[in-house]
Amino acid sequence: MPTRGARPFTVRYKGHEMTVDLPGDYPKDEGESVHVGTDMAAADAALRSLKEQVDGVPLPATIRRIRTKLRLSQRAQGRK
């Protein structure tokens, strides 16, 4: 019977890695885990962070911060 919890999970991208606690339903022994809903959010955020570090692809939060600093609104730009 699987038990709800979090275990370390290593996200790898182009030779770089980051370890996050990944929530999910895990078996008591070895076996496959089940991830539902927002369980993968931590791994997704880690992958986006690695892509920003390695490839220079900015995170959505970085884009938002730059737009705010430059006083650029996505809505206003869409109306032009």
pLDDT tens string 15-66: 999 999 999 999 988 889 999 999 999 999 999 999 999 999 888 888 889 9
Instruction: Quote the pLDDT of residue 9.
Output: 96
d(C-alpha 5, C-alpha 33), whole Å: 10
Place of tokens 């699987």: 2
pLDDT for residue 80 is more than 80: no
Predicted pLDDT at 59: 85
Confidence of residue 75 (pLDDT cuts 50, 70, 90): confident
pTM of the prediction?
Answer: 0.72
